[in-house]
Chains A and B, each alone.
Chain A
C-alpha cells in the first residue's frame, strides 16, 4: 500500500529527506514566496475597496504611485490574488506533493527551474503594464477593453510555464512506475497529476483566446475582435480554474488532514473516483458563467447547467469522505456521541484548525455556487456583490485559508525552522474565518439588494439608502481580515528569519481505512478518462464555438476607457 507512509518520521531520515529533496524544497519555497508576496499586495487593495464603500478614500493619497485609483487597485486585487497567488502556490505545492508522495525527486530538475523561470518571467512582464495603469481590465480581461500587449503576453507565459510541471510529473511517474511495477499510484501523487492534467486540458481555452484573439489584436496586427467568442474561450478555462484552485486544497484535506485529525482517510477509492470525476466534468460546463450573455443559445446554457450539477456530485463525495475522516479522527482521540466527537479534534493545532475552518465556510460557498449554477435563479444574483461574496468564501477562504494552514507545517519543514508562534497562527485562522464570514455574508446580502460587483460604490451616483447601513459591516469584516493577514505575515517572516533551527518533519500522509486495493486499477490508467473528458468537451462546446467562429465578423475595435 503505497499511500501508507510511516508517521512520526525519525529526525535522521528527516535530514536524509531534506538532502534528497533539497531542490524540490527550494522550488516549492520560491513558488510560495512569490505567491504570498502577491497575496499581501493584492490583499491590501481588498481593504482599500471596503473602505471606499464607506466613503474612506485612500486612493487619493496613493495616487502618485497608483494613478488608476479604485479600478487599478481592483485589477491588482484580482490578478494578484486569484491568478498569481493561487497559481504560484499550487505549482510549488504540487511539486512537493508529487515528489514526496512518489518518494523520488523530480525527473528533471532543470525543467523544474525552467518552469519557475518561465512563470516568474511572465509575471514580471505582465506586472509592468498592470502597475503603470495600462492593464486596468480586471483578471477577466474582457475585450474590447484593451490592455497593453505585455499584459496578455506575460499572463500567457505564466500559463505556459505551469504546463511544464505536468510534463515533469509524467516523467516522474514513468520513473516511479519502472521502479515499482504493479504498485498503485500513491493517492497524493495521483491527485496532483489529475489536477495538472485537468488544468492543461482546460487552459486550451484561454491560450487560444490569448494567441489568436487578444495578443494579435493588442499588437495591432488585426483591427477587431469578438467579445462573446473571447468570453466563451475565457470561461472554457475560467470555470475549471476554480477546480485548479480547489483540488490542491482537497489534496491536503484528503492526504494530510485525516492524519492531522488523529485518524485515517475514510475511503481512498472514493477519493480517486471524485478526482476522476473532476477531470471529466470540470471543463464542459463553462457556459454557466455566461447565462446572461447574448449570442449563445439557451439550450446549450441549460445543458451546461445540467453538467454543472453533475460536478457538484464529486464535491459532495469529498464532503462526505473528509467529514467521515474527521469523525474517525475525533473518535480515535476518544470523542463520543453523534456530534460531540467534534470537540475531541486537535483544535489547538493551527494547521488543522485553519483548514477545518476553511471547510466550514466552503460548505456555504458550495451551496451558494449551486444557486449561481441554477440557470434562471442566477438572474437574481449575476454580477452583483453576491458573486464577490461567493468567491471570497470559495477561493478566498476554502482555498486561501487552507493554503495558509498548509504553510504552518510546510514552511517549517522546508526551511528547517520551527513555527515562530503557534498561538498567533491559531488566532490568525480564527480571525480570517470570522472576518471573511462577516464580509461574505453582507456582500451576499447586498447582492440580493442588486448592488453591482466591481464597482466603486462609495462614489456611485445611485447609492441606495438600504445598502448604506450594511456597508460598514463589509468594512469591519475586511478590517478583521487585515488583522488576520498581519498576524500571518508577521508569524511567517519571524519563522523564516528567527524560527528555532531544527529538522521539522512534514505532515505525514494519511493511511486509509479502505485503501486503493479496494478500487479498480482502471482508475490509475488515465487514457479512458481523458477520452471521456475529450468527448464531453467536444459535445458541449463544439456547436457553440463553431457557430461563433464561423459567423464572427471580428469587427469590434479595442478601447481604453479607464
Chain B
C-alpha cells in the first residue's frame, strides 16, 4: 500500500465514526424529546403587552390548580421582577408555566429543572415540568434587561407533598 492509499484508509476510518457519533447523539435527543417528553418551548401565540391587564390569563397572574396535582403558573416579567415573585407548590405537582413580558426581553430559568425560557414582549412562553423534590428553587432572569438585571429573581418553594392536595 502506498502512502496515498494508506491516507485514504485513515480518512475513511475517521469519517465513518464522524458520521455515526453525531447520528447516535441525535437519536438520543429525539428519544428524550418525544418519548421522555423533555422538549423546548414552541409557538404558544402572541399577546399585546400594552393590554396585559385585561387579557386572560395575564390579567390574573398567579398559581391555579387545574386538577389534583396539576397546576398552571401565570407569570409576568417586568423591569426588574416577576409577578408573582414567589410560588408555593406541593411536591409531585406538574406545573405549566405561562410567561410573558411587559417591557423588554427577560429570561425565566428555574434552577435544577428543565424550565428555561426566553420571555419576550408580545409572545407567550410556555413550558411544563414536574417538581418531585421539596425545597427552594431560585428563578433567574438570565437575559440582560437593563441596569437592574442582577436584581431580577424569583423563588419557587416546593413543599413536602400532602397526599390530599397533590394526589399522587
Which residues on A are within 8 Å of B, measured CB to CB?
A: 69, 71, 74, 138, 142, 144-145, 226-228, 231, 266-267, 270, 290-298, 301-302, 305-306, 309-310, 312-313, 316-317, 320, 324, 370, 374-380, 382-384, 449-450, 452-457, 459-462, 464, 513-514, 518, 551, 553, 555-556, 559, 561-562
Within B26-53, the residues touching A (CB, 8 Å) are 26, 29-30, 32-33, 38-44, 46, 48-50
Q: Do the beta carbons of A450 and B40 come within 8 Å of each other? A: no
Q: Do the beta carbons of B14 and A556 come within 8 Å of each other? A: no
Q: Do the beta carbons of A144 and B103 come within 8 Å of each other? A: yes
* Chain B positions 126 through 150: 1 when the CB is less than 8 Å from some CB of chain A, otherwise 0: 1000000000001011111111111
Contacts of A382 in B (CB 8 A): 109, 116, 142
Q: Do the beta carbons of B150 and A292 come within 8 Å of each other? A: no
Q: A292-B116, A295-B43 are in contact. List 10 more A-B contacts (CB 8 A).
A: A144-B103, A290-B118, A295-B120, A298-B42, A301-B40, A320-B10, A376-B38, A379-B40, A453-B142, A514-B7
Contacts of B76 in A (CB 8 A): none
Q: Do the beta carbons of B44 and A455 come within 8 Å of each other? A: no
CB closest residue in chain A, given B37: A376
A383 to B110, CA, bound (A): 12
Q: Do the beta carbons of B39 and A376 come within 8 Å of each other? A: yes
A144 to B123, CA, bound (A): 13
Does B107 sit at the interface, judged by CB under 8 A? yes
Q: Do the beta carbons of B120 and A228 come within 8 Å of each other? A: yes
Q: Do the beta carbons of B144 and A380 come within 8 Å of each other? A: no
> Out of A267, A294, A301, A450, which one reaches B112, CB within 8 Å?
A450
Most chain A beta-carbon contacts within 10 A, residue among B32, B115, B117:
B117
Q: Do the beta carbons of B40 and A291 come within 8 Å of each other? A: yes
Q: Do the beta carbons of A71 and B149 come within 8 Å of each other? A: yes
Q: Do the beta carbons of B117 and A561 come within 8 Å of each other? A: no
Q: Do the beta carbons of A142 and B29 come within 8 Å of each other? A: no
Asked whether A553 and B109 contact (CB < 8 A) given A296-B42, A454-B149, the answer is no
> Out of B11, B48, B116, B150, which one reaches A555, CB within 8 Å?
B48
Contacts of A459 in B (CB 8 A): 150-151
Q: Do the beta carbons of B7 and A266 come within 8 Å of each other? A: yes
> Out of A74, A144, A266, A306, which one reaches B105, CB within 8 Å?
A144
Nearest 10 CB-CB pairings of A with B: A561-B146, A452-B142, A383-B142, A294-B123, A450-B111, A316-B18, A460-B150, A294-B125, A456-B150, A309-B22
Q: Do the beta carbons of B120 and A297 come within 8 Å of each other? A: no
Q: Do the beta carbons of A309 and B40 come within 8 Å of each other? A: no
Q: Do the beta carbons of B150 and A457 come within 8 Å of each other? A: yes
Contacts of B30 in A (CB 8 A): 302
A302 to B7, CA, bound (A): 36
Q: Do the beta carbons of B109 and A452 come within 8 Å of each other? A: yes
Q: Do the beta carbons of B48 and A553 come within 8 Å of each other? A: yes
> Out of A69, A464, A555, which one reaches B138, CB within 8 Å?
A464
A292 to B7, CA, bound (A): 43
A555 → chain B closest CB, angstroms: 6
Q: Please name 15 pairs of A and B residues whose Cβ atoms are closer than 8 Å in the assembled complex, sorted by A.
A: A145-B104, A226-B122, A292-B117, A293-B123, A301-B42, A309-B23, A320-B10, A379-B114, A382-B116, A382-B142, A383-B107, A452-B107, A462-B153, A513-B4, A514-B4
A534 → chain B closest CB, angstroms: 24
Asked whether A452 and B141 contact (CB < 8 A) given A309-B26, A377-B29, the answer is yes
Q: Do the beta carbons of B122 and A553 come within 8 Å of each other? A: yes
B101 → chain A closest CB, angstroms: 9
B19 → chain A closest CB, angstroms: 7
Q: Do the beta carbons of B125 and A376 come within 8 Å of each other? A: no
Does B63 sit at the interface, judged by CB under 8 A? no
> Out of A231, A313, A383, A464, which one reaches B116, CB within 8 Å?
A383
Q: Do the beta carbons of B109 and A455 come within 8 Å of each other? A: no
Does B91 sit at the interface, judged by CB under 8 A? no
> Out of A266, A374, A551, which one reaches B25, CB within 8 Å?
A374
Does B73 sit at the interface, judged by CB under 8 A? no
Asked whether A450 and B25 contact (CB < 8 A) given A298-B40, A561-B79, the answer is no
Q: Do the beta carbons of A324 and B40 come within 8 Å of each other? A: no
Q: Do the beta carbons of A267 and B11 come within 8 Å of each other? A: yes
Contacts of A455 in B (CB 8 A): 142, 144, 149-150
Q: Do the beta carbons of A228 and B122 come within 8 Å of each other? A: yes
Asked whether A71 and B109 contact (CB < 8 A) given A145-B104, A295-B43, the answer is no
A510 → chain B closest CB, angstroms: 15
Contacts of B111 in A (CB 8 A): 449-450
Contacts of B69 in A (CB 8 A): none
CB closest residue in chain B, given A450: B111
B62 → chain A closest CB, angstroms: 20
B106 → chain A closest CB, angstroms: 10
A455 to B115, CA, bound (A): 19
B135 → chain A closest CB, angstroms: 13
Contacts of B148 in A (CB 8 A): 561
Contacts of A317 in B (CB 8 A): 14-15, 18
Asked whether A296 and B43 contact (CB < 8 A) given A227-B122, A450-B138, A561-B79, the answer is yes
Asked whether A460 and B151 contact (CB < 8 A) given A227-B105, A559-B103, the answer is yes
CB closest residue in chain A, given B10: A324
Contacts of A551 in B (CB 8 A): 46
Q: Do the beta carbons of B150 and A461 come within 8 Å of each other? A: yes
Q: Do the beta carbons of B109 and A561 come within 8 Å of each other? A: no
Q: Do the beta carbons of A144 and B121 come within 8 Å of each other? A: yes
> Out of B14, B42, B49, B146, which one reaches A316, CB within 8 Å?
B14
CB closest residue in chain A, given B14: A320
A306 to B28, CA, bound (A): 12
Contacts of A561 in B (CB 8 A): 79, 103-104, 145-148
Contacts of B158 in A (CB 8 A): none
CB closest residue in chain B, given A460: B150
A452 to B149, CA, bound (A): 10
Contacts of B46 in A (CB 8 A): 295, 551, 553
A301 to B43, CA, bound (A): 11
CB closest residue in chain A, given B7: A514
Does B54 sit at the interface, judged by CB under 8 A? no
Contacts of B103 in A (CB 8 A): 144, 559, 561
A222 → chain B closest CB, angstroms: 15
Q: Do the beta carbons of B118 and A292 come within 8 Å of each other? A: yes
Does B124 sit at the interface, judged by CB under 8 A? yes
CB closest residue in chain A, given B122: A556
Contacts of B118 in A (CB 8 A): 290, 292-294, 383
Within B73-89, the residues touching A (CB, 8 Å) are 79
A556 to B104, CA, bound (A): 9
CB closest residue in chain B, given A462: B153
A107 → chain B closest CB, angstroms: 36
